[in-house]
């Protein structure tokens, strides 16, 4: 079958394809949000003094990093109903992507927190800060400078990895391109249009990521609105 420019340009502005693009965008954003929350919690658990919490977090990271995402999606969508847990396509995709991203992000967060010099922690404790305040004011703002670049790369990868959801019939960009190719037998045109939109999405995110990295790359300073606790005069 010969190449058809008419079909190519028709697919390029097709509302059906654009609907798939939108699904890919929100699926990526929601999955990453779930992954960030899970990863942050898992990272804190792995750094906990409790052996039980460290064991649970380590097992979660080991399991989800050690198995292919495609296998995880299939098991969640087709395997959980065998145990009475029935999830729809959207719920299965979000759960699979969120758990997978969380396992990888946990190591990113842990590395970011550990990169902060121990002297920063000692200084915060000397000022009388409790754990939560120390993390919020001192540790996390500095850790973000290490965390943001790999997190941005994960988001970029997630835009493309979301195409795996087509295996469980998620109506995202690749799935819509596949259906157009099957119906109209314009395989190359449909898949090339999908590839173009993936390039557009990742390019847009690349510019956003540059701005975020530039923001967190600035020298860290405490906000003027943050009130530090007064030092104990008795220690002088």
Q: Backbone dihedral region of 169: left (phi > 0), alpha (psi from -120 to 50 degrees) or beta?
A: left
Residue 107 in this model has a pLDDT that exceeds 50: yes
Q: Residue 76 has what pLDDT?
A: 95
Residue 140 inside a domain? The answer is yes
**Residues spanned by the domain of 52:** 5-221
Q: In this structure, what is the dihedral angle of CA atoms 164, 168, 170, 172, given to the nearest 10 degrees? A: 30
Residue 135 inside a domain? The answer is yes
Residue 229 inside a domain? The answer is no
Residue 131 inside a domain? The answer is yes
Residue 227 inside a domain? The answer is no
Q: Backbone dihedral region of 128: left (phi > 0), alpha (psi from -120 to 50 degrees) or beta?
A: left
**What is the residue whose two structure tokens read 């690749």?**
174
Q: Residue 57 has what pLDDT?
A: 94
% the chain with pLDDT above 70: 91
Predicted confidence band of residue 234 (pLDDT cuts 50, 70, 90): very low
In the chain, alpha helices (H): 5-12, 15-46, 51-66, 69-74, 89-114, 118-126, 131-134, 140-161, 173-184, 187-216
Residue 146 inside a domain? The answer is yes
Residue 110 near residue 143 (C-beta atoms within 8 A) = no
**Mean per-residue pLDDT, 221-226:** 47
Residue 231 inside a domain? The answer is no
d(CA 120, CA 128): 13
pLDDT in tens, 173-188: 999 999 998 888 889 9
d(CA 170, CA 30): 15
| Cβ neighbour number for residue 155 with a 10 Å cutoff | 21
Name the more confident of 225 and 104.
104
Residues 6 or more apart whose Cβ sits within 8 Å of residue 91: none
Residue 206 inside a domain? The answer is yes
Domain count, the chain: 1
Q: Residue 231 has what pLDDT?
A: 47
Longest dimension (CA), the chain: 87
Q: Residue 236 has what pLDDT?
A: 39
3-state secondary structure of 172: coil
pLDDT in tens, 41-62: 999 899 888 999 999 999 999 9
pTM reported for the whole predicted model? 0.84
Mean pLDDT for all residues in the chain: 87
112: domain CATH number is 1.10.3720.10
Residue 197 in this model has a pLDDT that exceeds 60: yes
Residue 5 in this model has a pLDDT that exceeds 80: yes
């Amino acid at each position: 079958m010969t190449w058809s420019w008419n079909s190519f340009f028709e697919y390029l502005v097709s509302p059906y394809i654009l609907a798939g693009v939108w699904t890919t965008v929100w699926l990526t954003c929601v999955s990453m949000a779930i992954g960030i929350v899970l990863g942050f919690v898992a990272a804190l658990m792995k750094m906990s003094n409790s052996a039980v919490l460290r064991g649970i977090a380590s097992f979660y990271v080991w399991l989800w990093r050690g198995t292919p995402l495609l296998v995880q999606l299939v098991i969640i969508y087709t395997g959980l109903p065998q145990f009475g847990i029935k999830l729809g396509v959207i719920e299965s995709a979000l759960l699979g992507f969120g758990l997978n991203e969380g396992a990888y992000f946990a190591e990113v967060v842990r590395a970011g927190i550990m990169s902060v010099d121990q002297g920063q922690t000692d200084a915060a404790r000397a000022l009388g800060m409790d754990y939560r305040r120390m993390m919020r004011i001192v540790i996390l703002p500095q850790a973000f400078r290490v965390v943001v670049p790999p997190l941005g790369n994960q988001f970029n990868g997630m835009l493309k990895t979301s195409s795996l959801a087509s295996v469980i019939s998620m109506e995202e960009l690749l799935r819509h391109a596949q259906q157009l190719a099957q119906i109209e037998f314009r395989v190359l045109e449909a898949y090339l249009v999908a590839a173009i939109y993936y390039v557009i999405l990742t390019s847009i995110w690349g510019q956003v990521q540059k701005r975020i990295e530039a923001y967190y790359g600035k020298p860290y300073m405490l906000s003027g609105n943050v009130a530090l606790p007064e030092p104990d005069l008795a220690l002088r």
